Amino acid sequence: MSDPDEVWNRACDPYAPFTHPGDAALAAVLLCHGMAMNGGLLHAVESLEPGQRAAAADGFRALGLDAAADAVEEVARQAAALDPEDPDAGERLEEEANRRYEAALPGWDAEIQAAFEDHLAAHPEAYAPLG
């Protein structure tokens, strides 16, 4: 298994201690992204705790995926401002959120993995040592 694969797998472990900022950023991104892939970005931002959501946006930015961070933050703002009197508002936001997230990450997992591997290569000190 390659070093990037080991770091990626470690970030998927919800019980791993994230003592380094790169590991924490990747873990936050993967949590948000996994939820977005399963239920859409609106589901992800509504399901994550505020701290988790902020960590995901910060993690996307750390990996150079600013458009994804912007999508998380903007969809969270829009979700908080949904009109409870408009029964279709949530559905419209869900569609917009998914379009925005797909535009931000057209390569989905592959794009996140490439950004992570670039970050790992440029900033190995941001990640806990392996082994």
What pLDDT is recorded for position 7? 96
**74 has pLDDT over 90:** yes
**Residue 80 Cα to chain centre, angstroms:** 19
Q: What is the mean pLDDT of residues 5-16?
A: 92
Please classify residue 58 by burial: count the beta carbons closer than 10 Å to its beta carbon, then call 0-12 exposed, 13-18 middle and 19+ buried: middle
pLDDT band at 4; cut points 50, 70, 90: very high
Q: Where are the domains of the chain?
A: 3-126
Q: What is the mean pLDDT of residues 82-103?
A: 94
Question: Full-prediction pTM beyond 0.85?
Answer: yes
**89 has pLDDT over 90:** yes
- What digits encode the pLDDT tens for the residues 27-69? 999 999 999 999 999 999 999 999 999 999 999 999 999 999 9
What pLDDT is recorded for position 17? 86
What is the identity of the amino acid at 78?
Q
**112 has pLDDT over 80:** yes
CB distance 16 to 10 below 8 Å: yes
CB distance 3 to 110 below 8 Å: no
**131 has pLDDT over 90:** no
Tell me, letter by letter, the H, E, C secondary structure of 7-68. HHHHHCCCCCCCCCHHHHHHHHHHHHHHHHHHHCHHHHHHHCCHHHHHHHHHHHHHCCCHHH
CB distance 127 to 120 below 8 Å: yes
**What percent of the chain is predicted at pLDDT more than 90?**
91
Angle between helices 3-11 and 21-39 (to 10 degrees): 70
